[in-house]
Each structure stands twice: as C-alpha cells, then as structure tokens.
C-alpha cells in the first residue's frame, strides 16, 4: 500500500495488505493490521489499533487509544470516544429498515436512505460478536457482553447482556463488576472506588 497523504502520521504502522483511503486521517502510533479497511474521511485517533480484517466506514471517528479487534465492522456514522474496546466480529449497524431495492424495484443508492450511527462513550467495552443496532448510544465505561444485541441506549457504567441486551449489573472504570455495598452504594473490588445508583444511573462518590 502506498501512503499517499500527509494525513497518515509517520509513526503509524500499517500492514502492506491493509486498505487505507488517502482521505482518511490516521493519528500517530496507530497500528492497522492485515486486510483491515479504512474508508474515506474516517479518523483514527493516536494510539488506536485495528485488527485483521476490521472495517471502518466513511467518516467514522475513533478517539485516542481505541482497540478494534479482528473482523469488527464499524459502519458510518459511528463515533467512538477515547479508550473504547471493540471485540472480534462486533457489528455496528447503520440502517433502521434495510432494503436492497426501492419499492419500484430499482437498486437503492446512498441517496435513498439516511444512515444512523452508534456512538460509544469513553472507556466502554463491546464484547465479541455483539451487535449494536443503530441509532444507539453506549455510555461511558459501559460493558456489553459477548453476543449481546443492543437495541436501546446503555447507561454509563452499565453491564448489559442478552438478546435484546438488558442491564444485569454495574461496572467500574477498571472493568470489574461492582459489588453491592448496602443501600444504593456499590464498590469496585479492584480499586475500592465507590458509586451510588440514582434513578437508574450510576455516579461516583468519595472513596
């Protein structure tokens, strides 16, 4: 692959078999592995990595230090915050009512539908083979279990699992499920940080 644009930082490591559009913006210290594809106007923040066969659609934005594993498919207009983990074979959809053709039988073009996206907050993790059905927002530090199908917004720090995905617990910034500490309080067994549940959301407290 020939690097045709100044938009690819010199420190980026891009496999020869990767397909990176010249109009993509690739930050410093980015790693793109074999057979990954990055489309036009996509933005990969510094320190991010794309696994083998991953796909990043036109205009998709990744923050800094994101990790997108093998064969994940991120369709536009997805937006990922900093430090987001996307597991192997995860799919972010972008069409609420997908059809290949219009009612008159003609093939649909980009002008015949409006793409909707998945947004993911800072530090969130999406488990292997999960499907996030746009439009949907995954909150900060949330954890989506492997194989889940996310059809509605996920609160910050929530753990969701199942089909459709439902909240089964809370998780701290260390990625460890929180344990109940009495009343509406929860504590991280790894860091000792404490949190309080208020009206279906989780907020930090003094440790």
What are the counts of helices (DSSP H) followed by strands (DSSP E) for the chain? 0, 26
**Of all helices (H) and strands (E), which one includes residue 204?**
strand 201-204
Residue 3 located in a structural domain: no
pLDDT score for 10: 66
Domain assignment of residue 178, given as a range: 172-207
Q: Are residues 128 and 195 in the same domain?
A: no
Total structural domains within the chain = 2
Residue 8 located in a structural domain: no
pLDDT score for 9: 67
Residue 145 located in a structural domain: yes
Q: Are residues 57 and 85 in the same domain?
A: yes
pLDDT score for 112: 87
Q: What is the 3-state secondary structure (H, E, C) of the chain?
A: CCCCCCCECCCCEECCCCEECCCCEECCCCEECCCCEECCCCEECCCCEECCCCEECCCCEECCCCEECCCCEECCCCEECCCCEECCCCEECCCCCCCCECCCCCECCHHHCCCCCEEECCCCEECCCCEECCCEEECCCCEECCCCEECCCECCCEEEECCCCEEEEEECCCCCECEECCCCEEECCCCCCEEEEECCEEEECCC
Q: Are residues 157 and 207 in the same domain?
A: no
Q: Are residues 176 and 166 in the same domain?
A: no
Per-residue pLDDT tens digits of the chain, which is 207 residues long = 444 444 776 688 999 999 999 999 999 999 999 999 999 999 999 999 999 999 999 999 999 999 999 999 999 999 999 999 999 999 999 999 999 999 999 999 888 889 999 999 999 999 999 999 999 999 999 999 999 999 999 999 999 999 999 999 999 999 999 999 999 999 999 999 999 999 889 988 754
Q: Are residues 36 and 137 in the same domain?
A: yes
pLDDT score for 207: 42
Q: Are residues 48 and 59 in the same domain?
A: yes
Q: Are residues 99 and 17 in the same domain?
A: yes
Q: Are residues 18 and 59 in the same domain?
A: yes
Residue 4 located in a structural domain: no
Q: Are residues 129 and 207 in the same domain?
A: no
- C-alpha 131, offset from chain centre: 10
Q: Are residues 51 and 131 in the same domain?
A: yes
Q: Are residues 32 and 123 in the same domain?
A: yes
Residue 20 located in a structural domain: yes
Separation between Cα atoms, residue 56 and residue 40, nearest integer Å: 9
Residue 206 located in a structural domain: yes
Q: Are residues 135 and 203 in the same domain?
A: no
Residue 70 located in a structural domain: yes
pTM of the model: 0.92
Query: Which CATH number goes with the domain that contains 49?
Result: 2.160.10.10
pLDDT score for 158: 97
Residue 128 located in a structural domain: yes
């Amino acid at each position: 692959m020939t690097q045709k644009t100044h938009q690819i930082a010199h420190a980026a490591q891009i496999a020869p078999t990767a397909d990176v559009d010249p109009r993509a913006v690739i930050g410093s210290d980015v790693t793109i592995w074999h057979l990954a594809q990055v489309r036009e106007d996509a933005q990969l923040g510094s320190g991010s990595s794309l696994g083998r066969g991953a796909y990043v659609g036109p205009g998709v934005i990744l923050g800094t230090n994101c990790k997108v594993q093998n064969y994940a498919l991120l369709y536009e207009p997805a937006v990922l915050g900093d430090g987001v983990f996307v597991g192997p074979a995860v799919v972010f959809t972008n069409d609420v009512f997908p059809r290949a053709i219009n009612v008159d039988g003609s093939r649909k073009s980009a002008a015949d539908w409006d793409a909707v996206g998945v947004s993911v907050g800072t530090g969130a993790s999406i488990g292997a083979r999960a499907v996030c059905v746009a439009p949907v927002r995954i909150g900060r530090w949330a954890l989506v279990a492997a194989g889940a199908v996310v059809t509605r917004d996920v609160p910050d720090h929530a753990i969701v699992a199942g089909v459709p995905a439902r909240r089964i617990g809370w998780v701290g910034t260390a990625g460890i499920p929180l344990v109940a500490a009495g009343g509406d309080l929860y504590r991280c067994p790894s860091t000792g940080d404490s949190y309080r549940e208020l009206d279906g959301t989780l907020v930090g407290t003094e440790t």
